[in-house]
Structure 1
């Protein structure tokens, strides 16, 4: 078995999980006085990242989906990704989940 095939098998039935803290425009970042850019992702970059995964055929999963997959109640997609937020989830859910 080739190395690339071994690597692919290693990642079968795995979910990539990304954690975000703040997703803001530059103006919102300034208004909220957020200077630590490691805690903040620009909204345009976030959209590009999500669209890139969507265009590559990834299925966006909610935590509930992962639970149902583990229980055998839902089929595991070929490529899976889960995006989580450290806090303010309801704000981001309303504002950005339309991208998915």
Structure 2
């Protein structure tokens, strides 16, 4: 169940998420996430996030996003850390299709 709350004319977004997962052959467990995004300059934003599931250590993540084409094409990089595991680096691209297609 996701929820996003906007502040400062969408420059600051707070994301909350609660859910449930049941891996095959394992008992179900609650999941959660809290995160935020801040647009600090035209085309640039940063994000912080923490997520996990019941009785598991949380993962924390920080990222940077640049809009190549505002509202259509973004590039992003993030680093995540879960206690007891190596850092994970992710590089990505988000392409938003025109509203006509969905």
Determine if the TM-score, normalized by the shorter chain, exceeds 0.5: no
TM-score, with structure 2 as normaliser: 0.25
Structure with more contact order per residue of length (Cα contacts < 8 Å, sep ≥ 6): 1
- More helix as a share of residues: 1
TM-score, with structure 1 as normaliser: 0.26
